[in-house]
């Protein structure tokens, strides 16, 4: 049994990372900054300067911003935040926008000068908006994580200031305590009343948007294509439901998602395959909750070393997490889950993130498949060994290697991707 203080830290991590968001989190963070800018300024800005890090630009460029009537891009995210955003709702800032205001949003975007600058910043997540109206000015600066406002100014006066660090984990619970053995201990022993609300919201929200993605025409329809092509085998279903949630979300669906490590796609991927397997296996609610804890925490464990934004596709980490959760659901022990993670990581590591867009759904399906294959390999007595590529001597070393690959090794890849996308 984990010490009470470790259990408390794990619960704090879950509360920080499993939060609801409407739309892709990068445009939503921009909209949040914009809504806060209007709130501080006390009026709609007549002019806006947006200093936005490359990774944010990458993840906003091709995704539809919800509740805008189908608009895409930084300017659309700024416009919807300024015109209709509710700053106090943070990542649900644009969740309640009447369709009748879509023309107003588009008109503001057309008539308002919005200057977009990509600054040279060490922070992957960096959003600084400056606005002017009626002879006044205001600044709102978000950095490191999607709702972390580090600076607010009005007419040159600092109203809020936090230490500006370069880590995506600044201000959050220390995740260095995460390791697989303790994750499994926590998942198996924690009093479920302390986490059930978080998990049930994750199940309900993410299942609802997946149902929407399967029922209607969203994005590339990866989820429904998988089911139509390959049938309703549980393995296919696990991939299809996760993909369908992304189909809808990447194409502007207004329904909320419970995110994981700053990403709705990661939240969908770490949860829905486990939910579908639990239903197929006839698992109890307790078994489902504890398996979800494994999946969510294994995802967070990997992402802690990678960072919130990277050239390394976050769906891979979540697919690995899902594989671990599904293995746990079927009674797997530490060794089985450790090898599931190692095997799955070895299969798909290096998959690039080239921005939020409809094709994310296909990467999600592939990532879930890798997680499932990782477990099947273990059951067949076939595992990748230490020294096979980036595979370390154990699961901890392998996860650490992925962090180095994503954070250090893929920096130039990230710059190249951004150059290609903005040509």
CATH number of domain containing 101: 3.30.1330
d(CA 383, CA 374): 8
With respect to residue 199, please indicate whether it lies within any of the assigned structural domains. yes
- Same domain, yes or no: 44 and 192: no
Max CA pair span of the chain: 71
One digit per residue, the tens of pLDDT, for the chain of length 423 reads 799 999 999 999 999 999 999 999 999 999 999 999 999 999 999 999 999 999 999 999 889 999 999 999 999 999 999 999 999 999 999 998 988 899 999 999 999 999 999 998 989 999 999 999 999 999 999 999 999 999 999 999 999 999 887 776 767 899 999 999 999 999 999 999 999 999 999 999 999 999 999 999 999 999 999 999 998 899 999 999 999 999 999 999 999 999 999 999 999 999 999 999 999 999 999 999 999 999 999 999 999 999 888 999 999 999 999 999 999 999 999 999 999 999 999 999 889 998 889 999 999 999 999 999 999 999 999 999 999 999 999 999 999 999 999 988 888 888 898 888 877
> In Å, how far are 211, 269, 329 from 280, measured between CA atoms?
17, 17, 11
- Same domain, yes or no: 260 and 234: yes
- Same domain, yes or no: 146 and 178: no
d(CA 65, CA 362): 20
- Same domain, yes or no: 153 and 177: no
DSSP-H helix ranges across 85-221: 102-111, 180-189, 196-215
**Could you tell me how far CA 77 lies from the centroid of its own chain?**
17
- Same domain, yes or no: 417 and 379: yes
With respect to residue 9, please indicate whether it lies within any of the assigned structural domains. no
- Same domain, yes or no: 184 and 284: yes
With respect to residue 284, please indicate whether it lies within any of the assigned structural domains. yes
- Same domain, yes or no: 101 and 182: no
| Kind of pairing between the strands at 256-258 and 20-22 | antiparallel
Task: Pick the last residue of a domain from 116, 140, 161.
Answer: 161
pLDDT at 87: 95
CB count within 10 Å of CB 404 equals 13
d(CA 130, CA 140): 7
Q: Is 171 left (phi over 0), alpha (psi -120 to 50) or beta?
A: left
**Beta bridge partners of residue 72, listed in sequence order:** 64
pTM of the model: 0.95
Residue 182: partners with Cβ closer than 8 Å, 6 or more residues away: 2, 6, 10
Residue 292 corresponds to which tokens in the numbers above? 């979800």
Supply the angle between the helices 222-230 and 196-215 in degrees, to the nearest 10.
70
SS3 of residue 48 by DSSP: strand
The alpha-carbon radius of gyration of the chain (Å, integer) is 21
- Same domain, yes or no: 116 and 220: no
pLDDT at 168: 65
- Same domain, yes or no: 98 and 133: yes
* Phi, psi dihedrals of residue 95, rounded to the nearest 5°: -80, -20
Residue 356: partners with Cβ closer than 8 Å, 6 or more residues away: 24, 26, 58, 59, 60, 62, 63, 250, 265
- Same domain, yes or no: 186 and 219: yes
- Spatial CA neighbour of 314 closest among 254, 259, 377, 252: 259
**Could you tell me how far CA 40 lies from the centroid of its own chain?**
28
Residue 19: partners with Cβ closer than 8 Å, 6 or more residues away: 91, 258, 259
With respect to residue 130, please indicate whether it lies within any of the assigned structural domains. yes
With respect to residue 167, please indicate whether it lies within any of the assigned structural domains. no
- Same domain, yes or no: 304 and 410: yes
d(CA 412, CA 184): 36
Task: Pick the last residue of a domain from 161, 196, 223.
Answer: 161
- Same domain, yes or no: 94 and 199: no
pLDDT at 319: 97
Can you give the residue range of the structural domain that contains 128? 21-161
Query: Could you say which DSSP state residue 144 is in?
Result: S
pLDDT at 98: 87
* Phi, psi dihedrals of residue 322, rounded to the nearest 5°: -60, -40
> In Å, how far are 224, 269, 358 from 239, measured between CA atoms?
10, 8, 15
Domain count, the chain: 2
With respect to residue 210, please indicate whether it lies within any of the assigned structural domains. yes
CATH number, domain with residue 189 = 1.10.4100
With respect to residue 166, please indicate whether it lies within any of the assigned structural domains. no
Residue 75 corresponds to which tokens in the numbers above? 């300017």
CB count within 10 Å of CB 303 equals 29
Task: Pick the last residue of a domain from 107, 132, 161.
Answer: 161
Residue 324: partners with Cβ closer than 8 Å, 6 or more residues away: 294, 295, 298, 337, 340, 341, 371
With respect to residue 236, please indicate whether it lies within any of the assigned structural domains. yes
Question: Quick check: 104 and 155 in contact, CB under 8 A?
Answer: no
């Amino acid at each position: 049994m984990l010490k009470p203080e470790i259990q408390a830290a794990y619960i704090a991590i879950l509360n920080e990372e499993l939060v609801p968001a409407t739309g892709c989190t990068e445009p939503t963070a921009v909209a949040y900054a914009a809504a806060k800018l209007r709130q501080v300024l006390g009026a709609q800005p007549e002019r806006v300067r947006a200093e936005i890090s490359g990774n944010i630009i990458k993840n906003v460029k091709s995704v539809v911003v919800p509740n805008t009537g189908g608009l895409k891009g930084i300017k659309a995210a700024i416009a919807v935040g300024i015109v209709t955003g509710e700053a106090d709702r943070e990542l649900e800032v644009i969740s309640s926008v009447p369709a009748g205001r879509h023309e107003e949003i588009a008109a503001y975007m057309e008539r308002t000068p919005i200057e977009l600058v990509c600054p040279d910043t060490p922070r992957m997540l960096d959003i600084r908006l400056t606005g002017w109206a009626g002879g006044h000015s205001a600044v709102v600066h978000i950095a490191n994580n999607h709702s972390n406002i580090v600076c607010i100014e009005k007419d040159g006066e600092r109203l809020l200031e936090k230490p500006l660090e370069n880590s995506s984990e600044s201000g959050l619970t220390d995740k260095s305590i995460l390791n697989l053995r303790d994750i499994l201990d926590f998942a198996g022993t924690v009093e479920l009343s302390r986490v059930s609300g978080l998990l049930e919201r994750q199940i309900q929200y993410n299942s609802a948007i997946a149902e929407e993605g399967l029922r209607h025409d969203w994005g590339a329809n990866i989820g429904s294509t998988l089911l139509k092509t390959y049938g309703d085998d549980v393995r296919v279903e696990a991939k299809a439901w996760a993909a369908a949630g992304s189909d809808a979300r990447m194409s502007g669906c207004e329904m909320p998602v419970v995110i994981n490590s700053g990403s709705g796609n990661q939240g969908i991927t770490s949860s829905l395959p486990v939910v579908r397997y639990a239903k197929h296996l006839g698992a109890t609610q307790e078994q489902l909750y504890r398996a979800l804890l494994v999946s969510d925490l294994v995802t967070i464990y990997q992402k802690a070393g990678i960072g919130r934004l990277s050239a390394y596709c976050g769906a891979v980490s979540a697919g690995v997490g899902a594989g671990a959760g599904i293995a746990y659901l079927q009674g797997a022990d530490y060794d089985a889950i450790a090898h599931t993670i190692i095997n799955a990581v070895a299969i798909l590591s290096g998959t690039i993130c080239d921005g939020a867009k409809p094709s994310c759904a296909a990467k999600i399906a592939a990532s879930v498949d890798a997680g499932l294959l990782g477990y099947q390999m273990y059951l067949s007595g076939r595992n990748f060994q230490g020294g096979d590529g980036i595979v370390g001597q154990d699961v901890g070393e392998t996860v650490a290697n992925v962090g180095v690959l994503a954070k250090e090794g893929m920096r130039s890849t990230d710059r190249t991707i951004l150059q290609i996308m903005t040509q």
